[in-house]
Each structure stands twice: as C-alpha cells, then as structure tokens.
Amino acid sequence: MRQALDEARKAFEGEEVPVGAVVLDGSGAVVGTGHNDRERTFDPTGHAEIVAMRAAASRLGTWRLSPCTLVVTLEPCTMCAGASVQARIGRIVYGAVDAKAGAVGSLWDVVRDRRLNHRPEVVAGVLAAECGALLSEFFAHRRVG
C-alpha cells in the first residue's frame, strides 16, 4: 500500500485526484503501477486501477491477471471493479472506503456478485486513514484554490 500511496502522491502533484495503484504478481513483485491521469490524458478510463492493470498485462504478456493482487488507495468504482473481474484479478486490497462511488462493498459489491464468473478476494481498510487523509487534503486544497 505504501507504493500505491506513492503513486497517489504523483497524481496529487499532477493535480489529479490522488488515487494510486500497484499490481503485484504471485510472488509479490510489482508488475504494474498507476495513478489517476484523466485530466492529463483526457481519458475517462484513466483511473489508477486501469492504468496499473494495463501496465501489468503488458508486462506479463497476458490479460489474465489471476495470480495478481491489485492494491489501490481508494475502493474501486464500478468501472474498475468490473475491469478487475474481467482481468481475473485474484485479490483486491484497498485503503479508504468510497461511500459515494465504491463498488467493492460499500455502495455496490460488484466483485462479489455471484452472477459473475469471477470473484476476487477482497481485503479492505489497509492504511485507510492515510489514504483518506491524502484525498481530504486534495479536496480541501481544491476548495480553497
């Protein structure tokens, strides 16, 4: 999660919503990193999770990321939760809960929907206070500026 927080700080510095993600392979090695980049790239899919999963898939040479863990500073939204299911991510670890748009247990629970063909393990609340504080700082700064 510390590496995902480093990615989130990069987003913050780039005036993006500070969400960061890393993908770990089965041995725990980082195979993909990403942070929000929608403002810079004008890409509505430029969420940290999508960026990190694309990098991991490219590096591993496969879209099937079943042995991998996605670590992200904020609970994934419906798009990112759905993409993690489609990528067959084995585990999702996230920090702060997203009560407004979270799709991994809070507002929706896309990844545990029994109607889907894949359901990753979920670990929630890892360094949640630190992840949430970075987001709070960002939005407080935006309201003042």
Catalytically active residues are 49
Instruction: Tell whether residue 118 is among the known ligand binding residues.
Output: no
Residues 6+ apart with CB under 8 A from 102: 74, 75, 76, 77, 108
Give me the DSSP letters along 94-142. Answer: EEE--TTT-TBTTS-BGGG-TTSS---EEEE-TTHHHHHHHHHHHHHHH
Collapse the DSSP code of 87 into the 3-class scheme (helix H, G, I; strand E, B; otherwise coil) and give the result. Answer: coil
Instruction: Tell whether residue 80 is among the known ligand binding residues.
Output: yes
Instruction: Tell whether residue 47 is among the known ligand binding residues.
Output: yes
Beta bridge partners, 35, equal: 20
Report the 10 Å Cβ neighbour count for 17. 19
Known binding-site residues for Zn(2+) equal 47, 77, 80
Known binding-site residues equal 47, 77, 80
